[in-house]
Structure 1
Amino acid sequence: MPHFRIVPPALVFGALLSLAGCSENAEQKPANAPAVKPEVSVMTLHPTSVAITALLPGRTAASLIAEVRPQVGGIVRKRNFQEGGSVREGDVLYEIDPATYQAAYDSAVAAVAKANGAVPSAQARVDRYRGLSRNDAVSQQDLDEALGTLAQANADVASAKAALETARINLDYTKIRAPIGGRVGASTVTVGALVTADQTTSLTTIRQIDPINVDVTQSSANLLKLRRAIEDGRLKTTGANVSVTLKLEDGSDYNRTGRIEFLDAAVEETTGSVTVRAEFPNPEQLLLPGVYVRAVIQEGIRQNSYLVPQRAVSRNTKGEATAKFVLPDGKVDERVLNVDRSIGNSWLVADGIEDGARVVVEGNQRVRAGQEVTTSDVIVNDATGELEQAAKETGGAAKPVDVSAAEPAASGQAPAPLASKN
């Protein structure tokens, strides 16, 4: 049989009064407590002129290439260059045994002398027959034969001189000279090797690398977009002399500026790209042919544009770029941005932003459109993407901003508001 404990009425009445007091305090506390506004970091945007550049992959190539081949045959007697070194135009690279060609040259010299020896007697005979023919002392036939002999003697002289010139050229070809100046590659033959005038294998290759060419590829679609932007006036070109800079394989910048040489007249059918060639000075010969580089080409200048930090931009469910702005009344406004391209650590936006607009760069994940917030002014270092506190009007260097408090907590709790640095 269950037992029931009788509670005194005074205790029951006291418990009811206690519960009523707690309920009253719970209802009155939110009404009396002031509303806490979340704090966000904002950056004030102003229009600026932005240099539009294109980062294109490419490879270096020698401005001139010469494959050295023999023009006469013979035995290589000497090599006069250091493989991998530099040579000047006209330097003797190889020497072929000239004995046979020297003999041919000497024979041609003798032939010229022999031919010249027959000319005076033939000329004297013609002169004598002309004087006698006036008195009919010799027949016209004898005079014609004398003239023919003189013409033959002169022709023999001309033929002998041509043979002499050929022999001289062949003798000179025994010294194989550099057709251009530049860096010479490895030799494919050694001293004592037999070479021929018609061989397909080159003896060595010379590459001129100062200046050096850089061949990059640009898609035809980007070229079409660029031309339309120029025609519409949205992009102002820098003129005919477009400057180009290089980023090397290790990420460093090449310390010299190049210029565009030409744009290929045809589009590659398989890739849909166009070859653009730039020329760079290379006096230190730091750039060698075949090196992979990235060329930064200045396409033009976009005026009255805005640079929105990338950390302030997110994507909505439609994939559109959005950013939150703080209106003059302190409320948040979310906008869809028409992003053109990335410039450093910012996005280039041509329209949809007014001068003096304040974009939320930190704390935008914990606020929503229409919510009233408090702000602290910061700037974003475009080179690093880090936040820095905006300098006051009285001047002073920008100071780094501690943004660790603005990061969402790992436990899922609401992040603490960003501490003011003012």
Structure 2
Amino acid sequence: MLMLKLAFRNILRNKRRTILTMLSMFGGYTLLVLSISVQNGSYDQVIKFFTKDSTGHAQIVDQTYLDRPTLYKSVPATDQFYQQLMALDSVTHAVPRIVSGALAYGEAKSFPVQVLGVDVEKEASTSFLTEKINQGRYFSANPNNEGYYEVMVGGAVARQLSVSVGDELILISQGSDGSLANDLYQIVGLVGATDGADARNVYLPLAAAQDFYVMQDKAHYWAVLTYDFADSDQLAQTLNTWLSNQPDTNLEAASWKVVSKEFYEAMTADIEGGYISYYIIVILICIGVLNTVLMSVLERTGEFGVLKAIGTSPKRIFSLIVLETLMLAVFSCVAGFIVSLPINYYLAKVGITLPDPVEFSGITMSHMQGLWNISVFTDPALIIIGSAAFISLFPARRAAKIVPVEAMRSL
């Protein structure tokens, strides 16, 4: 208790210097909180969109499918398999998909496309496909009155083939049995922009894609979602454990980090690049703290000499300097927390309006939102307090090693 009183008295000796030092740590803490919140929040937004709409949090595939995707490597797409999959506690959504290429024909033109066969009902509740329709409507799982399956096409397909809602589309490809696959479909919806991720896609109902590619009760992969994309590794592990207990299976589960390795590595590199600004903030704070503590020690050299002369141990003087610095850092972080809390709440709930909305995976992002969790506030506090404590060690060591006779000459 006596040490706390002495430390508090000492930091109030030079109020101007104390206030300036606290302002630098307060500003650094606030900047770190808001920077980490906005950066991590925006990355979370992107990953949530990407995984929910594209890869899922994990995928169930043939063991060799990710290395070399082909038409012939498939997974079961039966209702029984789906029911067993959904019975797992960590699984919230699961949808089977068929992905392959084809040549699409309009009235007078042809265009290479990527065909995605999806379960119409499951896909609507899993991905953002229904939200990406900019013309027409969502397709039906069953053939229409004329006996044709309905399809939706991407913007580039519609532009290149000069087709629109209500027109017919012919697809030609190869079936999994080696036969020539060809069929006629009716376009009921246009998806995404002409230059987006879905621009070259043609969406078929799963049953239609299975008939087209001769893949009865099969798909190329299951996209599986859990409660949070951050738990994707645990989800993949759970799925692999479940799959290992299935008889005669050659299937495996992989998280989205493995499925889209390049995307994950690019995101990770971008996040790590943002740490440079954090390092700069911390270095500037450390310089300010070091200057303050060192000046304080130099001004009190005579005082430390007297304290040592009357029997104060070097360890006690060392602890006093460190304690003073820690008190400054803690007070600064508390003030920064009070100020940054409502600002970060606004960023997390409302966000920053982007001057030019960004389209990602066919969904328009008009706001950049912050991250709202305890680590956004605790991590900067630990960085500031830890850095201040580390910097104070050098002046504290100097004060602890003062020789009383030489120090008292400065009085």
* Structure-2-length-normalised TM-score: 0.19
Which structure has greater strand proportion?
1
* Structure-1-length-normalised TM-score: 0.19
Which structure has greater helix proportion?
2
Q: Considering only CA atoms, is the larger Rg found in Structure 1 or Structure 2?
A: 1
